[in-house]
Structure 1
Amino acid sequence: MTEDYTLKLQVLMYKVGINSFRKLSELTGTSDRTIRKLRSGELHTLRWQTLVKISSTLQITVNELLDTFGAQSSSNDRQQLELLQQEYQHLQQQLQQQRETLQTEFQYQSLQTLESLLTYLPAAKYAATNNPNFPASKIFPLLQSIDRLLAQWHVTVLGEIGTQIAYDPHCHQLIEGTANAGELVAVRYCGYRQGDKLIFRSKVSN
């Protein structure tokens, strides 16, 4: 009869803020079956890479994981696992740094595209606040930078405000009146799509 290590596992999970076995499975990239084996102390049936992922996620060493769940292994095996864990954590750090670098570069390029908007919109808002007669049309050229950014991201606008289109519940959100698929409705607010992925449905009325 195998020993139940569920409580010990839950204690380790609690310390790192993991509140369910499903979440542990997601964070470690393992299956529910793997987590069940961990709970029953069947570490000898798991791959070394899996043990490294689990121990790193629980923020303990591989040796601590083995000792906690009663696993027997040679000194050489434990040393190899420790080296694997160190390499795994190093790769994780590199990936995190790469993600941060890419995100920073993405944000910088986006801000560069929005330069004219960021530069002149505050001045336009100031002018409009202090002059009720300030024409709103003067702000329109500033919005061209948003159009450029959307084009770079391959985002297309769904519907043109004021026009009538055939109602499609997959692409349109009816905010007033009733309509069946295919009936003409008026576009009240534009929707957006990025490639084949719908971001926002157009808001329409009948």
Structure 2
Amino acid sequence: MDDRHILKLQALMHKVGIRSFSELARSSKTSERTIRKLRSGGINTLRWQTLANISSTLHLTINELTEIFGTPSSSTPERQQLDILRQEYQLLHQQCQQQRATLQAEFQYQSLQALESFLTYFPAAKAAAAQNPDFPASKLIPLVQSIDRLIAQWGVTVIGEIGAEVAYDPRWHQLIAGNATPDDVVTIRYVGYRQGDKLIFRAKVGN
């Protein structure tokens, strides 16, 4: 048994309020035999999931745990395998983070597509309600403020403002009344939306 590892482990346990090795085994969902391996310098024989459980319980990363309890000999087959597993874990973690971001962006985009009718026509009703407090739609405004906050959190930008006169741009505007060529003055009838540089749907305009 390596006294240095025991003292290191006891110090780490003390920081997180764990009072015994058996309590550490229970908290990390491992066995006391596994904890004995860690205390005796046998960290290179432990599986990745076991290392993940112990490091999480001690509020450490796997890298920090292996640095503290690893052996000086870094050329052993066990250490090499541990390094490979660590690299694979980091790669999988990065891939999962990227996939999560991609799925979240796709979910947001599909959700906004599903809300097209509401997002297109409600701003017109809201503008009418603002001009006429007796307009029945005014009672709906507080109910949809959460949607405004949601799309703002998603980085969604409104294209145009109801009643605004703007230069016609086919990239962002859909002509629904009259005729217009690029840069002609048109009036925003219904707003559009985009997320960054990605068009969700165009603002509807006329002249």
TM-score (structure 2 length as normaliser): 0.44
Specify which structure has the bigger relative contact order, considering alpha-carbon pairs within 8 angstroms and separated by 6 or more residues: 2
Larger Rg: 2
TM-score (structure 1 length as normaliser): 0.44
